[in-house]
């Protein structure tokens, strides 16, 4: 289709065609045996939605300072900007990341953004477990509830989840958001220990624990796509 590039990916798990719009581009996922002749009409039908979503992604990027993965660059961390100091040490087998005040020192074995990104993501994942666990323990004590276990993941479409058994899962990219947003997501999932759905009862409970929850939810909807390295 003219001036709207997209890629097609066949999937054994897909039962019907769907469109995924991310900052990296547009992807059409189709069942393994589906006819590709139907892809272009399908994209044409969804064109307005695709363009609207791409526009929101661009606006989110423009509203937040992008991470710069290079020596002298900077990355966000719970509302702070951490200055990056990158050292390339040829032959180094394992990357190292160390935080000193507001300076993040990264040592990698080869030059380029990808080794830095991989090292930083591993560091953010470790930090996310500590940051989320501390907040989750406090929120659960206040609510008089307990959770089963905590997992840190890299979900593409979800910020967090709470299973019926009390298993918690959080996206490490929440550490790229302001601290109040992470606090909100923690309270959101703890509220699900009492109310599993998003009914009025759920939102009333959440607002009693986090009065600015609607504001934080809107922030995530607007800026969430830009929370990436």
pLDDT at res. 222? 84
CATH 3.20.20.140 holds for 74-226 = no
Which candidate, 85, 82, 54, 79, places its Cα nearest to that of 67? 82
Which candidate, 177, 60, 162, places its Cα nearest to that of 128? 177
How open is the CA angle 212-152-70, to the nearest 5 degrees? Answer: 90
How open is the CA angle 131-170-146, to the nearest 5 degrees? Answer: 80
Which candidate, 129, 130, 106, places its Cα nearest to that of 119? 106
| Greatest alpha-carbon span in the chain | 57
In the sheet that holds 103-108, the strands lie side by side as 74-77, 80-88, 103-108, 96-100
- pLDDT per residue of the chain (229 residues) written in tens, 0 to 9: 457 888 899 988 888 888 888 767 888 998 988 888 888 989 888 898 888 878 777 766 655 666 788 999 999 999 898 999 999 999 888 999 999 989 999 999 999 999 999 999 999 999 999 999 999 999 999 999 999 999 999 987 789 999 999 999 999 999 999 999 999 999 999 999 999 999 999 999 999 999 999 999 999 988 888 888 8
Q: Could you tell me the pTM of the whole model? A: 0.75
Domain coordinates in residue numbering, the chain: 7-63, 74-226
pLDDT at res. 15? 87
Which candidate, 51, 54, 46, 87, places its Cα nearest to that of 70? 87
């Amino acid at each position: 289709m003219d001036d709207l590039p997209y890629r097609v990916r066949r999937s054994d798990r897909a039962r019907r065609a769907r469109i995924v719009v991310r900052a990296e581009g547009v992807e059409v996922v189709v069942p393994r045996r589906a006819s590709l002749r139907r892809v272009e009409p399908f994209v044409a039908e969804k064109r307005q939605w695709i363009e609207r979503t791409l526009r929101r992604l661009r606006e989110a990027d423009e509203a937040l300072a992008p991470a710069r993965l290079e020596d002298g660059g900077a990355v966000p961390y719970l509302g702070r900007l951490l200055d990056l100091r990158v050292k390339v040490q040829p032959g180094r087998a394992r990357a190292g990341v160390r935080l000193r005040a507001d300076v993040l020192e990264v040592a990698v074995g080869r030059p380029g953004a990808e080794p830095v990104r991989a090292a930083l993501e591993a560091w953010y994942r470790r930090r996310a477990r500590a940051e989320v666990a501390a907040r989750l323990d406090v929120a659960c004590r206040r609510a008089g509830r307990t959770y089963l276990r905590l997992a840190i993941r890299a979900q593409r479409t979800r910020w967090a989840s709470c299973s019926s058994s009390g298993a918690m899962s959080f996206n490490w990219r929440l550490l790229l958001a302001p601290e109040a947003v992470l606090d909100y997501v923690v309270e959101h999932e703890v509220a699900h220990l009492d109310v599993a759905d998003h009914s009025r009862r759920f939102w009333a409970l959440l607002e009693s624990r986090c009065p600015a929850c609607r504001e934080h939810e809107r922030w995530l909807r607007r800026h969430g796509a830009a929370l990436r390295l």
